[in-house]
Amino acid sequence: MSLQAKELVWVQIHDANGMVVKDMVLQPGFLFRVPEGGNFVATLGNAASVKVRVGSQEVPMVGAPGEMVEGLKLNAETLRKRAGGR
């Protein structure tokens, strides 16, 4: 699973206990690979600027331009359902 910035975007990743494990600003084109086996949740500033991929499958836009999305579960099954199971 990965997050790729289309524009400058703030990303914060929390673990299952709510601890912040990553707090970063992604530059356009930067690809962040989410560690496997974890139960992570993301907060995205300007959510439309992030491409989320599960394997080779891109998840539809997770938010509107300028929208902050909180509580996005970075779980392959959950994200595939969001993508319509394609």
User: Which amino acid is residue 79, in one-letter code?
Assistant: L
Nearest alpha carbon to residue 59 among 86, 22, 41: 86
Q: What is the CATH number of the domain that holds 30?
A: 2.60.40
The total number of structural domains that make up the chain = 1
Q: What is the mean pLDDT of residues 20-39?
A: 93
- The pLDDT of residue 84: 62
pLDDT in tens, 48-80: 999 999 888 888 878 889 999 999 999 888 887
Q: Which domain holds residue 27?
A: 2-82
pTM to 2 decimal places = 0.85
Residue 67 to residue 47: CA distance in whole angstroms: 6
